[in-house]
Each structure stands twice: as C-alpha cells, then as structure tokens.
Structure 1
Amino acid sequence: MAHREELSSFLKSARARLAPVDVGLPAGERRRTKGLRREEVAALAGMSVTWYTWFEQGREVQLSVPMIERLGRTLRLDANEREFLFALAQHRPPPLKSRIDEDIRPATQHLMDSLSIPALVIVEDWTVIGWNALVMRAFRDYAPLPRTERNLFKILMLSERYRSDPVHYREMGQRLVARFKWDYSRTSQPEIFDAIIAEMMAQSPLFSEFWAESTILPYSEHVNIALMPGIGDISFWHSSYGVEEVPGQRLILFAPRDEDSAQRLAILASSTRCALVT
C-alpha cells in the first residue's frame, strides 16, 4: 500500500510540473490547477483515460514495460526518475535501453530489390534508410540527400509537391500527425522527436493544429497517387511492417490499387530495369 501511495504522489507531482506547451499542446483556457490534465497524459502516452486514472490513483493496475516507458517519456522523466517509476510500478529496475539499428540487413535490401513494387525502410523517427529503384522512379531519389533531409514525415508535411489539393493535403496531414504522435509515444529517442516537433511547430500551422488534438493512429496504411508523366497516374495502397529482430525499422510497401495502376507500374518497372542495365 505504501508503494502505491508513493506511486500516486510521484505521478501527480510529475504531471503537475509540466505545462501544456512543454509537450506541444496549446496553453488553452485558464486552468484551475497547474500542470497537465490526466486525459492529456493518457492521450500522449497512448493509454485510456480510465486506465491511467486508476494507475495514478494507486489501484492494483499492472502496466506493461512499453506502457511504463511511454508514460515516463510523456512525463519527461530523467534516468533516475525512470528507474524510480519502474521500482514503484513493477518492483524491479527498468530494462536497458537499446540503440536504434540503422543498418539495412542484406536480406532486407535483397527483398526490396527483388520486388516489382516500390519499397522503402524507415526508422522510428521516419528517416528513410533504405529503398529500391522503383521508389526512386515513382517518388524520389533519396541517395543524394543527407540523412537530415530524408525524414519522410517532414517531406510529406512541408513539401509544396503535396499541397496542390488543399482538401487532400489536410486529410493527409491529420493522418500523418496522428501516426507520428503514436510513434512518439513509443520512441526510445524522445529528444530526436522533440527536435522534429519543435521544427514542425515553427514551420507548419497545420501540424500545430493537429498536434493539439488527441487523435492517434496505431497503424499505417492508406492510398496515395504517384503522378507519372508519359505513363499516367499510379494509385498505390501502402502498408508498413516491422522488420524482424531490428527494433525501430519499418518496411513500407506500395502495391498498385487497381488493374490500370498495375499495368502502369509494370511499364515503369520495365523502364527502370532498362535504365539499370544501360
């Protein structure tokens, strides 16, 4: 019981010392108490309000290791506070933090090169680290870009290329921010996300608007269209998959959505193979 009471006091204190602006939320109306509300902490940590409320109240609620990690990142706990949280919640030290692996496995690259559809690999902060030739033809060539300019989230949100249709751009932006917020709640490198969030707050009013919402998206699949002069528009259905035994890497595949798109993609693939041979 003493542990539960201390856990409750600790969480309330950590929540009280954070202002909405500290976590990218608007200040909003005047608040009766300092700090974040329970529902704000729950949304940022990817938890239900009820579940977080029970946990903060010291009830017999068991949280998984990933959930405690997300909560610690949301509350901006330092290394000592993180260890203290695990000791109170699970009566054991926290797991060791692992380094994000940005090396593409030879088998993963071989798989992408063997596919007849565009494919790329991103790490948890959305930086593109691997791709095949069809990605270069259908979307963009990442090879000349330094790592700092290969962040897919910033490319999609900030590039003028995607703003020609305001309605579509707004819908895409809301979906991307909801997924980015989900990934942020699970990252082992919050400082990298914090830098991206600060940059986006300064450059994109749309990002600021959607970041203030509580919408989250735990999966990544949708339809997008590649405009291919001389071939025609190709409609893709894209989805993502975790790369086994490589934490943080995500393989994104772009499959043609209809028969016309499949035929146009086949033409693009054929011209790509010819270009590689010559």
Structure 2
Amino acid sequence: MAQREELSRFLKAARAKLAPADVGLPAGERRRTRGLRREEVATLAGMSVTWYTWFEQGREVQLSAPMLERLSRTLRLSPNEREFLFALAQHRPPPLATRRDETIHAGTQHLMDSLSIPALVIVEDWTVIGWNRLVSRAFRDYSQMPRDQRNLFRILMLNPRYRADPDKFRDMCRRLIARFKWDYSRTSQPDVFEGIIADMMEQSEFFRQYWQESEIMAHFEDTNIADMPGVGEIMFRHTSYAIEEAPGQRLLLFAPLDDVSATRLAQLVAEADAVCA
C-alpha cells in the first residue's frame, strides 16, 4: 500500500510541474492549482479519464507497458523518473530505452582506465564502443576498426582465431547464441538484431543449428585464453555488468583465472605502462 501512495504522490508532482503550454495546450482560464489537470494528462496519453484517475489515486489498477510509456512521454519524465514509474507500477524495470546511448560517460572511461585488467563496453547489439589500453594489447585494437566491424558477437562467431579447438569453439558458440537470444528478446531495436541474425544464418553453421534450439542465458560468464607473444597464454574469466547511468550499455571485465595468468597479465600491464611513459 505504501508504494501505491508513493506512486500517487509521484504522479501528482509530475503533473504539477507541467504547464499547458509545455504540452501544446492553450492556457485558458486562470487555474486554481498549478500544472495539468487529470483529464488533460489522460487525453494526451490516450487513456480513459476514469482509468487514469484511479491509477493516480493509487487504486489497484494495472497499466500495460505501452500505456506507461505514453504516460512517461506525456509527463515529460526523465530516464530515471521513467524507471521509477515502472518500478512502482509494475515492480520491474521498463523495457530498454528506444534511444541508444552510445556515449562513454567520463566516469565509465575513468574506471576502465584505472583497472589493471582488460575492460570494454558494448551496447545492446554487442557493438564495442569503449575499451581500455589492455584490451588493445590483449585482444585487438578497436580504435583501428570502423564501428560496423566492432560487433563482438560477429567477431567471436566468425574470426578463425577462435576455432583452434573445435570442441571449445562449438561450446562457445552455443553459449554466445543462448545469450544473444536473451538480448534479442529485450531489445528496443529488433531490426538491428534481425540484420545480424540474417547475416549469421548465411555465414555460420553453428548459428543455424543453435538458433533453432531453446537454450536461453540471461547472464553470460565464461573463460577465454589470450595467447600473447613474449608473454604466453593468459586465461581470463569474464563477466558483464549493466551500467546504471547508460541503459543498454554493458561493462565486460576480464580477470586472470590463475596465478600464472595473473603474473603474465602483470607483465603485460608493465609493458603497456612503459609504452605510455
């Protein structure tokens, strides 16, 4: 009940912040209270006035995700306010924002640059948009690649360097595709994913096989090996984390799996430091 009361307060406050002119309505006669009227919000959001009134009053009515999206736009909610509305109304996060955020925020880049392990950032279609210097040293230099060649899913599925061990490659493909399916189910831009899917159907036999299966992974975590000339093989365990300030972005971290790998990574860090010095 307390959350319903908070939802009611939140909607009233959001409505009160908007003047008729803000949403293209004439000012009309003098108003006793500031902000939009309930019937104006309902009309602009394409909702029944009675339904919106009950919702704002905190009654047990349920609005669909599309209705909440229209209400968010009508009330000019910020991304954080939109997420707050969904959390109170549906007890779950909203769908990913339709506007892709491909800006690496200064705090994210500073975090990656301060780490002594490889780290990179991908957007929801798995395109790499940010990385630190150890990624360039251990894996590949994304700065030398145009954006349309930086899709990590395509790279991992199609690059011959990952096929040295056929069994490990097959297992990696199975897990990658299970995670890619999960991301496809949640994307706000299915056309981007469908372009990748069409390409992979033509280019990868493993994709054609595993895409037909039902396995789904909501979180991808695995190990991989980087063979570094002059250093040797480094075994990494990687995992990913959502970046709160940038919906749709994920931070991938690669940590050494054992003591030998940690020692070799430290050597790699020292070499990178020497180059930058």
Structure 1 pair 188–96 and aligned structure 2 pair: CA distance change class (3 A): closer
Q: State the number of aligned residues.
A: 192
In the TM superposition, residue 65 of structure 1 has moved relative to its aligned partner by 3.9
Matches within 5 A, 1:253-264: 253-264=253-264
Gaps of at least 5 residues in structure 2 are 1-61, 70-89
The aligned counterpart of 1:105 is 105
Q: Does 1:204 align with 2:199?
A: no
Q: Which has the larger radius of gyration?
A: 2
The aligned counterpart of 1:135 is 135
Alignment TM-score, normalising by the size of structure 2: 0.66
Alignment TM-score, normalising by the size of structure 1: 0.66
In the TM superposition, residue 132 of structure 1 has moved relative to its aligned partner by 0.2
The aligned counterpart of 1:3 is none
The aligned counterpart of 1:178 is 178
Structure 1 pair 95–234 and aligned structure 2 pair: CA distance change class (3 A): closer
The aligned counterpart of 2:266 is 266
Q: One-letter code of the match for 1:213?
A: E
Superposition RMSD in Å: 2.3
Deviations 1:102-133 (A, max 9, x none): 00001100110000000000000000000000
Q: One-letter code of the match for 2:112?
A: M
The aligned counterpart of 1:226 is 226
The aligned counterpart of 1:145 is 145
Deviations 1:140-170 (A, max 9, x none): 0000111100000000000011011110100
Structure with higher RCO (Cα < 8 A, 6+ apart): 1
The aligned counterpart of 1:160 is 160
**Contact 2:97 2:248 (8 Å CA) reproduced:** no
Give the secondary structure class of the aligned counterpart of 1:233.
strand
Q: Does 1:217 align with 2:217?
A: yes
The sequence identity of aligned pairs, in percent, is 64
**Cα separation, 1, equivalents of 2:171 and 2:150:** 22
**Cα separation, 2, equivalents of 1:131 and 1:201:** 29
In the TM superposition, structure 1's runs of 4+ consecutive aligned residues that sit over 2 Å from their partners are 62-66, 94-98
Deviations 1:56-94 (A, max 9, x none): xxxxxx89849xx9xxxxxxxxxxxxxxxxxxxx9xxx9
Q: One-letter code of the match for 2:272?
A: T
Q: One-letter code of the match for 1:139?
A: F
**Cα separation, 2, equivalents of 1:95 and 1:222:** 26
